[in-house]
Amino acid sequence: MKKEIDFGYLENADMEQIEHISENIPPVRERDKKNILEMSIRKYDKRKNDIIAADFSDNDTVSGSEPYRRRHSLWRYIGTAAACLAVIGSLAGGVVLLRRHKGAESQITEISEPVTEAPENTAFEAPTPERAQEIVFRKGEDKDGEILLTGDNVLSAEVIRPSEESNYDYEVVVNIDSEGQKKMCDDSIFPVSVWIDGKHVSRRNCTSYYNGQFCLPCGVVEERANEIAYLINSYRPDYDISDAPLYDGCIADCLYEFEKKYDGSLATGDYTVYDVNGDSIPELFIIYTLGDGGKHYELYFFNGERYEIGCASDDYLTVNSGAHDGLVFTQTPWNSQNYKVYYVSQGRVKLIYDMNKEYNGDGSVALTINGNEVSEAKWQEMTDSISTENMEYPDELSKVFAGFGR
């Protein structure tokens, strides 16, 4: 006997009945419900179009009779019912899921995925950090061997390919500073192994040194050699920039490049970070001495990507203590009446006042601001605004980062 399917039960059922029906039916994923609905609609539309086309094409007229129209197929109603079932199932399933999880804390569902195991007995373990935290050059191959150099002695590393015959002949040439060069001149220290974050990074060890650099014969493909060179170049000494954590990487890069620029000639090097203009982006002051013994000052500002130099002076660089007004001053040690005033704003440093007080041969005094002569009253007004009583010398707040004091 043909059984009639009555959809009125679902239509008139309350939520408890719907929930009871769906208890043993796994919830349908949203993606599957969407696919079922779209498939049903496509089937329904196709069948509908077929029926309409049949209505127009099958109206065969015979003389002396009424037009004959083909009866609609049962599939039209089945397609409609399938679409209704998909819609009702989607709504009911969604409501049931909503009721089941109402008031409960959202949880992350862990989905098992196939796990690809790494091959065993790999001949070389690749370091994984974005930046190398420790670089050590040891005598011999022992992990506990004598330390000859550290990352602090490295200036740069580059990849070379000495032979075109093999894809496994890539090497990394490491350039070292003057201090490291003195240690590497002794042939008895070889072979030398390179360790990055506790991992031996090359199948072969360094066996020679020449003209400020030594070769690390990796015996690897280009990609691996590039990775080793990148890790060596990424190393930065520990500058302890705890007072500017958001910009410590950029500040460390700037200090590192500064050390490389003055390789071997820095007697002392100090730095401090200070937010000159109150925008929560600290400026960097570097105070250093060379062989001449005099102090030199440089101010660096953040340009959105890195720190670049804004101004340099052999005079004192000072700021208004606690004001964060964007002003930086230079003051000659031997004449407190000569100033330069810089303004730090929007990622740049601009000289706004160049104040000079000069004594002429006849005993008169020439007062100029930005090359224009001004009255004594105007001069006094400007100097009062930058009184040394309110100034702060960055070198009093500085930390050692280079030279003999490190």
Does residue 123 belong to any structural domain of this protein?
A: no
DSSP string, 53-70: HHHHH-----TTSPPP-P
pLDDT, tens digit, for every residue of 338-365?
888 999 988 889 999 999 888 888 888 8
Residues 289 and 312 in one domain: yes
Distance CA 59, CA 292 (A): 110
Given a cut of 50, the residues of the chain with pLDDT beneath it are: 1-3, 58, 61-70, 95-129, 404-406
Residues 203 and 295 in one domain: no
User: What are the structure tokens assigned to 204, written together?
Assistant: 């072969």
pLDDT number for residue 62: 47
Which among 203, 234, 265 is the end of a domain?
A: 234
**Nearest C-alpha neighbor of 190 from the set 169, 171, 170, 210:** 210
Residues 226 and 249 in one domain: no
pLDDT number for residue 380: 86
Q: In total, how many domains does the chain have?
A: 3
Number of helices (H), then strands (E), belonging to the chain: the values are 8, 20
Residues 190 and 259 in one domain: no
pLDDT, tens digit, for every residue of 26-73?
556 666 666 667 777 776 777 766 666 665 554 554 444 444 444 555
CATH number at residue 216: 3.30.1360.200
Could you tell me if residue 291 is left (phi over 0), alpha (psi between -120 and 50 degrees) or otherwise beta?
Answer: alpha
Residues 307 and 207 in one domain: no
Which among 204, 234, 264 is the end of a domain?
A: 234
Distance CA 190, CA 184 (A): 9
Does residue 113 belong to any structural domain of this protein?
A: no
Residues 188 and 254 in one domain: no
Residues 254 and 223 in one domain: no
- Contact present, 264 and 212 (Cβ < 8 Å): no
Residues 146 and 230 in one domain: yes
Residues 252 and 387 in one domain: yes
pLDDT number for residue 115: 38
Distance CA 316, CA 325 (A): 18
Domain of residue 42, residue span: 8-55+73-91
Residue 377: strand, helix, or coil? helix
Residues 371 and 259 in one domain: yes
Residues 170 and 224 in one domain: yes
Residues 254 and 384 in one domain: yes
